[in-house]
Each structure stands twice: as C-alpha cells, then as structure tokens.
Structure 1
C-alpha cells in the first residue's frame, strides 16, 4: 500500500492570539481548523493529540535523550519542540480523516461529519450493548464505549465502507499492470522458503508451487492478492489527491492556545 498521504498545510492566520491570555484558560470558541468548509473542533483535536503523545515523546527520547519533565513539551530540540510536532502530526491526521469523511458524505455513507454528530449515537449504542450483555446475547467489540472509543469506532467503520464502495466502482486493471505490480512485490511478498524450510500449516497452493523448487510463487497463485494490492494503492491515491487539493485553514485563536494536556 502507498504510504499514507501527508497534507501540505498552508497556514492562514485568522487572528493573532491575545497577549497575556492565561494559557490555562478554556479554549476560545470556534474550530481549531477547517478543511474546505468542514470544521475540526477542539474536542476532536485534543482526542487525536492524546493518541499521539506517546509516539512524539518516544521520538524526542530516542533522538535527544530527553524525558517528560517540566518544560518538556515547549523546549526546542533541533528545529522544533515536542508540542509543535505533536500539533503538526495531529493536524495532518485530522486533515486526512476529514477528507475521508467528506468522501464518505459524497457517497451518502454519512450525512453529518461534525464531531458532535459522529458521537451523538454513543448513549443509544451503549444502552443496546448493555442490554445485550444482560440478556446473554453476543456483543462484538467493546461492551461499552467512551467518547474516544466510540468516535474511533464510527470513523473506522466509515473508512472501511468508503474503501469498499470505492473498490466496487473500480474497473479491473489491464493484466499487464497486474504483472508489473507482481514483479515489484514478489521479492518481499511472494518468495518461497528454501527447500525443506516450509512451515507447518502453509497454504496448499504455496506448498505445491514451492515444492517444485520455485523461487517465487507464480502470478497465477497470488493474483487475488495482487489485485487487492492494486485496489489498495488506487484508494490511497484517491485519498492523497483529495488531501493535496484540500484547502486547510488554521484558526490560530484556538490552535495556538492548545497545550499538551
């Protein structure tokens, strides 16, 4: 699969943060950023920041040997601070997520992609799951959601539905394209183990072809995997193109007040 697209974010400062404002004060009203006309509010931004904290901390520990002490998030190392990197990564991820939600909305998979609308169904879903547990009926996944886990549940399901919908509309690629992709993938993905090194439980197709002394599984044996890889790449290309075309505007009245909680 292609690497996840990274948004090139053009920052348009809508207003300078007021001087002397208490950094611990509640965030001003308004979105943290907008993607096109769709807002990303502070609840969504802070939620995503929370999931990125450990990764950013690990980066600065690995590269600079610093620990999570007082001043960690605002102390410069290299050309950035941990807080700036945390906010930048969060922004990129939320631009991608919003673009996916916009595409899902265009496919009529969802009507309202605001954060509040996406988490509005959590109480009802939690009641349904609680009742199912009480009645000894199967519950798939968590028996109860927090706002964070419910938001992730809803957006993950929408991403899966969007990908499936996109793949259904794809025309099959020429065989030559699939053969070319197979050649690119076979070394890493379709190699046969050395003679006598087959693992117990390997697929019959792999055992059959590898038993004949083949270095690689032939195209005919892995064509479905190659086709799926092609579909994955096409989907990622679609997302990347929409990210590049997205107009992203940062609301610095809110963005600049966000700290690593």
Structure 2
C-alpha cells in the first residue's frame, strides 16, 4: 500500500530541536534581561535624584517632594520595562507559531509532491485557514482536531493574531473563551470584565509561553511515521477541488 505521507524520524527530531533552540535562546538572550526589573527601576529613581540634585534648594524645596518625584520615575520605568518584557514574550510566541505553521505547510506540500504536483494545490495549502489545515490533518489521520495540542495551538494563533493585528475576531475569541491571555484592569477582576478589554491588554506569562512551546513539540512527536490509503477518500472538499483543478488543467 502506498504511503501518502511519511515523517522521516531524523527530520522530525530536527524540527523539534530547532524549536527548542529558538525557545531556549529566546529566554536566555531576551527574556533573561528582565529578571531584575525592580532593581533597575530603583536605580532609575536614584539616577533621577542624582541628575536633579543641582536643582535642589533647601530654602525652597521639600526633600520629600524630590524623593517622591524620584519614586514616580522608578514606577514609570518599571511600567515601561514590564511593557517591553510582555511585548518581547509575545514576539517569541509569534515567531515560534509562524515557524511551526510554515514548517507544517512546507512538509505537507513536500509529501504531496511525491504523488501530485500542481499550482492550485500548492496555493491552497499555503492559503488555507487554520481550520482548513486542522480538517486536512484530521481527515488523513495525521492529527486529531480535538487533541490537546491542536486546541492549544488554536489558542496560540488567536494570541498571535491579536498581537499582530489588534482588535478583531481573534480578540473576541480570547474574550469569550480564553480571557486568561488578557490582563484584567485590576487583580481579582471578574472574567466578565473582559468585555471592556482591548488588544493593549494582551499578555502571555512564562508558563503560557511554555505551554505553547510544549504543544508544538507534542504535535511533531505525535505525527504518525506513515499514512497509507487513498488520499481522495479522506481529504476535505477544499483540497479535492484544488486537486481536480490541477488535473483539469494538465495538457
């Protein structure tokens, strides 16, 4: 029986190692720079006091007022660092998701080209929505739509879409089903308050970053070594239509 899709084990391990390297180095070279934000904020306040010491006149100024100003400088500095850290973490999430998405589509096309070559199929694989790709994977037995890792990767694409494009359908999905990726206005806020949040409240914790990363690893690990059978009997209609158009246009 013909194998329509094969995952060569060294290639599988290469994909996993590439991903792990990306995450490990991203944490080490980028996120590690934010480990001492409180200390850096205090130092920013101290620098402000030193830089403005020449302006202090004991006959006119209250020392406590200068110290309070320095305190607020430190608070603002900490807020800016927090925003930069959160944006850096989101950029890591976006980078790893897009890498996984492109590697998956590229691998699917490479395997398809063993038994079919056509521009319509190629274009469709690259342009298919996440849901279409899920349907394709599920129909062929490559990955189940209801698997924990695909569900988590579905949430990941919502996060990435909000990070890239701002308000829209993906933000509404997060508000409705995954408000844990949106910073509430204050600690302990009711989840229903998410209706008032927008894209500026998007945030991912280190733990959530690790969850997304683990889902990508689990996806590659779970792909079967080989898929046998008649692809035309298990592929979704959108793929069959593209396949038929390629066949019709052959000379």
> What's the TM-score, normalizing by structure 2?
0.24
Which has the bigger relative contact order, CA under 8 A and spacing at least 6? 1
Larger radius of gyration: 2
> What's the TM-score, normalizing by structure 1?
0.23
Q: Which has the higher helix share?
A: 2
